[in-house]
Amino acid sequence: MAQIVETIDNTDFKLLKDFGSIDEKCVKSEKSSNIPISHVNFNGRLTKDKNELCNVLNRFFTSMSSSSNSTIEQSTNFIDSQFDQYKIQDTEFKFNFTTAKELNDLLKSLTSSSSNDDLNNYRAISILPPIAKLFEKLIHKQILAYLNGKNIITNDQHGFRSNHSCESALHEIISEIKKIKSKRSIGLLLFVDFRKAFDSVDPRLLLLKLKKYGVSIMALYIIKNYFENRSQFFKIDDCVSDSMAINLGVPQGSVLGPRLFLLFINDIVKYLSDFMFKLFADDTTILKVGNELSSVISEFSCSIKKLVEWCKFNRIDINWNKTKIMFLTNKRNICLPKSINVDNNNVEVVNCFKLLGITIDNKLSFQKYVSEIRNSIKFNKLKTLFN
C-alpha cells in the first residue's frame, strides 16, 4: 500500500479506491445502517416504549430553536462585511416558476456512532413525497446551472459536485502531505468535526448569503417558502410521533438540501484565507504549513480564532472532542505537544486519523489502514467458515 501511494498521481489514484474493495465479500460489514431503535437515554432516563421513543426522538431533532433577532442582526452585519470580496454582477439568478408546496417530512434515523442509546449519535434523514422531490429537482437544476456558470462554489469543496468525490479530496490532501514531507517543512492538519451542521443551518442566514451570491428577490421568495411551515414526525415500526415544527436545518436525504448546505458553508474558505482547506460537505480539513514548529503553532493559534468567529456568527458548533490535530514532518528530534488549546478547548494531537473512510497516519505509511483491512478480511472469512 505504501508503494502504491508513493507513486500515485491523478490518473491512478483510483488504485486507492480499488484497494479498499479487495475481496469485497470478505471485507463487507454485515452491520445495517438502518439499525432498529430499541432504547435511548433521554435526560438520564432510559426510554424503551416505542410511542415514547418516537416523541423523544422527534423532540430532540426539533429542539434547536431559531436564533434570537439580536443574534441574527450580528450575523447579518458579519455576512455583509464578509461578502464584499465576492464581485457578483447585477445579473441575478431567477427561477422560471413562482410557486412552492409546504413539505412535511417523515423521518427515519441512522446512527453515526456505536453508542445507540445516545441521541447525539442519531441523524435524521428526510423521506419526502414524490411531488416534493419533483419540486426540489426543478429548483436544483436551475441553481446548479447558475452556480456552475458563475463558479461560485470553491474548488476546495469536493462534496455533492460532479467530477469530485471522496477520492479527489483524499488525493489532494495526500498530495499536500507529500509536498510538506519532501520540503522538510512542518504541517499542522486540523480535522474539524461540526456538530450536526446540516441541522444547524438558519434559513434566514442562508437567504442572506444567497442574496449576496446574486439570487433574485423572486427566487429568494421561493426558497424562503421552501423553508416555511415545515413540520416533521418520527416513525418506528407502526408507532408515529406527534407532528412538530422545524425552524432550522436543511433536510438530509433531500435533493436540494446538500446544495443549499454547500452554499451556506462556502464562504468559510474565503474568511479563513490564512489556511489551506479541503472540504467534503461538512467534513473539513484545515492545513497550516511552516518551517519551525513554534511558528506553526503560534500562527495556527492566532488564525484559528477566525474559525471560532465564523462558527459563532453562522450558528454552527464544533464538537471539540471529535476534532483532532495531526502534525506532519520529516524532521527529527521535534517534541510535539499532546494537545493545543483552541477557544478554551484542548484539542488532542493524534498520529493517525480516519478521514473519509481512509486511516491516514502522520508518516503516510498507511500501515494502520492496511492492518484494519486485513483484520476485517480475516474476521469475515472466519464468520463465513463457521456459518
Residue 312: inside a domain, yes or no? yes
Max avg pLDDT among 86-100, 101-115, 355-369: 355-369
pLDDT at 186 over 70: yes
Give the C-alpha separation, 185 to 292, whole Å. 8
Residue with cell 464544533: 318
CB atoms within 10 A of CB 291: 11
The pLDDT assigned to 342 comes to 95
pLDDT 10s digits, 153-178: 999 999 999 999 999 999 999 999 99
Percent of the chain with pLDDT over 70: 70
| Residue 22, pLDDT score | 43
* Per-residue confidence band for 111, with pLDDT thresholds at 50, 70 and 90: low
371 inside domain: no
State how far the alpha carbon of 121 is from the alpha carbons of 13, 60, 117, in Å.
32, 12, 8
Contact indicator for 32, 110 with CB cutoff of 8 Å: no
User: Is 381 within the bounds of a domain?
Assistant: no
Which has more confidence, 208 or 76?
Answer: 208
Q: What total number of domains does the chain contain?
A: 1
Assess if residue 15 is contained within a domain: yes
Query: Is 364 a member of any domain?
Result: no
* Range from 62-76, 146-160, 203-217, 241-255 carrying the lowest mean pLDDT: 62-76
Is residue 96 assigned to a domain?
yes
Average pLDDT across the chain, whole number: 79
Q: Look at residue 354 and tell me whether its pLDDT is greater than 90.
A: yes
Residue 245 pLDDT grade (very low, low, confident, very high; cuts 50, 70, 90)? confident
Domain housing 317: 2-356
Mean pLDDT of 65-91: 56
- Residue with the bigger pLDDT between 360 and 13: it is 360
Give this prediction's pTM.
0.76
pLDDT at 377: 82
Least confident segment among 5-19, 26-40, 315-329: 5-19
| Pairing verdict, β 231-236 and 104-111 | parallel
* 117: in domain: yes
Q: Could you tell me if residue 368 is inside a domain? A: no
**What pLDDT sits at residue 3?**
39
Q: What is the mean pLDDT of residues 298-327?
A: 95
Mean pLDDT of 286-303: 95
pLDDT of res. 92: 53
pLDDT-wise least confident of 21-30, 87-96, 105-114, 215-224:
21-30
Output the CA–CA distances (angstroms, integers) from residue 231 to 24, 139, 186, in the order listed. 40, 20, 49
Query: How would residue 251 be classed by pLDDT, with cut points 50, 70 and 90?
Result: confident
DSSP 57-126: HHHHHT--PPPPHHHHHHHHHHHHHHGGG----SPPB--S-------EEEEEEEESSS-TTBGGGEEEEE
